[in-house]
């Protein structure tokens, strides 16, 4: 494989995947843990034209300067990177491949693609970094519009601490342009390396902060969108009460209304002080109650992730049966130890202990490096596992296992019942479809004064060749519980095609009618990502 080339079937860079030795060690651990034999699916050969379906349309002359029907490009843009996508990619199933990939160089190119597609009735799927985990970029025969060439920070307003940035900027590309100015967007989803500004906006992604600035929504001043019917650009303001917000129409619209090309975003000074600690709880729900009180104490932690005992053992090396709360605070303006001390005091009031002590650092040294609190102990182990998790997931999929996650949000009063029923439903599904070989874990990714965002992970043995059918049964069992309890079908992973059946039941019917009317106005040919959010 070519170094530093994106994997066309799995996560990230092809040369960053687990090595053969690492994969075999992981397989040995799985054999010991589950008591089952696992065999590795061979890595697929690089796709050629014969491995993909015939394009529905050819690249028109007007778009040839920035478009490609190359087999690798079509394969790379066929799927996102969910469990289901990786299984199909490993199997060499690229039946939903786009006809070709367009990489606009400017807004004129975006308009040219939309004009041609409208005139021919060809669907177009906006594509950022391709890290969708809900079927958000998959549509056979479509044109995949890759926005990553539009990746510049166009303007910086240092006084207002805001930037105008093109929507195709990948996370690292954006931060590299802000770093010399001492600024950061501080929006770090797990997909950070392989997701774009436009993708974050179109999916209402959740980022680095556990509280306050949890969603990209909180960072938007204005947006610019190219729709088939014309340009929509909202006025740049710190806030406004002038009618329904135009930005809210496009935030979370998943590319069905227009192509986001630019946004003004609120940025921050880079943090100079950090403090973190790992708090352990003998009883999981004692930790839940501690997190509730912390979230309602106006402390606003940067990190406040509660891992149940199984999650703590598998991803942070905490093997004493305790739940782990990863607490962190940071600031560009002042030391944060007093806020961490108060949060720890609350945790101790609920039975929490801090065996590894507190790590505090800052300000950054003359090299400009940020302080590195939270890199050691259980907190550091969790952080390292979190960063590498998608690559580990791919290796486990090669072993024929089911490795899936789903997230939601609910109010504090409803969380205990939701947690109990989700756990019971998934474990029952695992027993029925996987012989009971597997487990479900839970962690909080974000916390609000009125409720948490629990993130569930499922790890299970499967029958070779039946991974997707078994996955679908487990997903349906969990999703039914979320809807029944009034929780959201997704907190920050978007809807895509995978969540549509449950999103349709969560969304008010009258709002669906209004959304269809907006699409009919902005995209009268219904070419943009048909089947996502609403039917064509």
Q: Are residues 258 and 285 in the same domain?
A: no
Q: Are residues 193 and 167 in the same domain?
A: yes
Q: Are residues 252 and 309 in the same domain?
A: no
Any domain includes 409? yes
Q: Are residues 373 and 438 in the same domain?
A: no
Q: Are residues 247 and 310 in the same domain?
A: no
- Give the domain CATH number at 210: 3.30.465.10
For CA atoms 306, 310, 315, 318, give the dihedral sign.
positive
Q: Are residues 179 and 113 in the same domain?
A: no
User: For residues 455-492, b (16+ Cβ closer than 10 Å) or e, as one string?
Assistant: bbbbbbbbeeeebeebbeebbebbbbbbbebebbbbbb
86: left (phi over 0), alpha (psi -120 to 50) or beta: alpha
Any domain includes 353? yes
pLDDT at residue number 223: 98
Number of domains in the chain: 4
- Residue whose C-alpha is closest to residue 167's, from 184, 143, 145, 150: 150
Any domain includes 162? yes
Q: CA–CA separation, 450 vs 327, rounded Å?
A: 19
CA distances to 177, 360, 365 from 371, rounded to whole Å, are 20, 9, 8
Q: Are residues 422 and 334 in the same domain?
A: no
Q: Are residues 157 and 258 in the same domain?
A: yes
Cis-peptide into 17, omega within 30 deg: no
- pTM of structure: 0.95
Domain end, chosen from 384, 409, 430, is at 384
CA 135 from chain centre, in angstroms, equals: 12
pLDDT at residue number 373: 54
Tell me the residue range of the domain where 140 lies.
49-146
Q: Are residues 251 and 309 in the same domain?
A: no
pLDDT at residue number 378: 78
Q: Are 158 and 140 in contact (CB under 8 A)?
A: no
CA 378 from chain centre, in angstroms, equals: 23
Q: Are residues 182 and 216 in the same domain?
A: yes
CA distances to 102, 125, 217, 514 from 226, rounded to whole Å, are 15, 13, 19, 20
pLDDT at residue number 368: 44
Any domain includes 332? yes
- Give the domain CATH number at 84: 3.30.43.10
Q: Tokens 């367009």 — which residue?
A: 102
Any domain includes 301? yes
Q: CA–CA separation, 151 vs 170, rounded Å?
A: 7
For CA atoms 262, 268, 274, 278, give the dihedral sign.
negative
Q: CA–CA separation, 20 vs 103, rounded Å?
A: 34
- Give the domain CATH number at 355: 3.30.70.3450
Angle between helices 83-90 and 467-484 (to 10 degrees): 170
Q: Are residues 234 and 157 in the same domain?
A: yes
Q: Are 87 and 396 in contact (CB under 8 A)?
A: no
- Running DSSP on this structure, what letter comes out for residue 366? T
Domain end, chosen from 146, 176, 209, is at 146
Q: Are residues 180 and 135 in the same domain?
A: no
CA distances to 88, 300, 309, 498 from 80, rounded to whole Å, are 11, 33, 31, 12
Domain end, chosen from 210, 236, 269, is at 269
pLDDT tens, residue order, the chain (536 aa):
444 799 999 999 999 999 888 998 999 988 887 788 888 888 888 999 999 999 999 999 999 999 999 999 999 999 999 999 999 999 999 999 999 999 999 999 999 999 999 999 999 999 999 999 999 999 999 999 999 999 999 999 999 999 999 999 999 999 999 999 999 999 999 999 999 999 999 999 999 899 999 999 999 999 999 999 999 999 999 999 999 999 999 999 999 999 999 999 999 999 999 999 999 999 999 999 999 999 999 999 999 999 999 999 988 899 999 999 999 999 999 999 999 999 999 999 999 999 999 999 888 543 445 555 556 677 878 778 888 899 999 999 999 999 999 999 999 999 999 999 999 999 999 999 988 889 999 999 999 999 999 999 999 988 878 899 999 999 999 999 999 999 999 999 999 999 999 999 999 999 999 999 999 999 999 999 999 999 97
- Residue 327: what are its φ and ψ, rounded to 5°? -110, 135
Q: Are 223 and 233 in contact (CB under 8 A)?
A: yes
């Amino acid at each position: 494989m070519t170094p530093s080339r994106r994997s066309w079937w799995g996560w990230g860079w092809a040369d960053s995947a687990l090595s053969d030795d690492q994969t075999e060690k992981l397989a040995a651990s799985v054999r010991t843990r589950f008591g089952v034999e696992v065999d590795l699916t061979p890595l697929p050969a690089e796709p050629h034209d014969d491995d993909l379906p015939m394009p529905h349309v050819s690249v028109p002359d007007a778009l040839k300067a920035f478009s490609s029907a190359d087999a690798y490009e079509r394969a790379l843009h066929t799927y996102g990177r969910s469990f289901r996508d990786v299984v199909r990619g490993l199997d060499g199933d690229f039946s939903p491949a786009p006809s070709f990939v367009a990489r606009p160089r400017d807004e004129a190119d975006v308009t040219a693609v939309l004009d041609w597609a409208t005139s021919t009735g060809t669907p177009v799927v906006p594509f950022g970094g391709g890290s969708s985990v809900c079927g958000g970029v998959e549509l056979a025969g479509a044109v995949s519009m890759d926005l990553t060439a539009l990746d510049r920070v166009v303007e910086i307003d240092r006084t207002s601490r805001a930037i105008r940035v093109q929507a195709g900027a990948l996370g690292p590309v954006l931060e590299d342009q802000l770093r010399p100015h001492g600024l950061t967007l501080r929006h770090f989803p797990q997909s950070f390396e392989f997701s774009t500004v436009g993708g974050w906006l179109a999916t209402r992604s959740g980022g680095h902060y556990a509280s306050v600035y949890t969603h990209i929504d909180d960072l938007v001043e204005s947006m610019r969108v190219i729709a088939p019917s014309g340009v929509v650009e909202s006025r740049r303001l710190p806030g406004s009460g002038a009618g329904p917000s135009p930005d809210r129409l496009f935030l979370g619209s998943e590319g069905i209304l227009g192509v986001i090309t630019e946004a003004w975003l609120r940025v921050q000074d880079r943090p100079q002080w950090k403090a973190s600690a790992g708090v352990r709880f003998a009883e999981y729900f004692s930790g839940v109650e501690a997190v509730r009180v912390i979230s309602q104490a106006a402390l606003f932690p940067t990190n406040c992730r509660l891992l149940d005992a199984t999650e703590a053992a598998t991803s942070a090396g905490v093997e004493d049966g305790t739940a782990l709360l990863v607490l962190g605070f940071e600031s560009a303006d002042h030391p944060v130890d007093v806020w961490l001390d108060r949060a720890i005091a609350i945790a101790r009031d609920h039975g929490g202990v801090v065996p590894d002590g507190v790590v505090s650092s800052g300000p950054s040294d003359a090299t400009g490096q940020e302080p590195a609190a939270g890199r050691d102990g259980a907190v550091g182990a969790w952080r390292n596992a979190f960063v590498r998790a998608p690559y580990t997931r791919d290796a486990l999929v090669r072993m024929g296992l089911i490795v899936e996650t789903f997230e939601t949000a609910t109010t504090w009063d409803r969380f205990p019942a939701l947690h109990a029923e989700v756990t019971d439903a998934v474990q029952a599904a695992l027993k029925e479809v996987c012989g009971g070989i597997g487990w479900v874990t839970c962690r909080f990714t974000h916390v609000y004064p009125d409720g948490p965002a629990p993130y569930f992970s499922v790890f299970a043995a499967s029958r070779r060749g039946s991974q997707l059918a078994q996955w679908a049964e487990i997903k349906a069992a969990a999703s039914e519980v979320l809807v029944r309890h009034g929780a959201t079908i997704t907190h920050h992973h978007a809807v895509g095609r995978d969540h549509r059946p449950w999103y349709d039941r969560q969304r008010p019917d009258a709002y669906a009618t209004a959304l269809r009317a907006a699409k009919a106005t902005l995209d009268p040919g219904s070419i943009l990502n048909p089947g996502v959010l609403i039917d064509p």
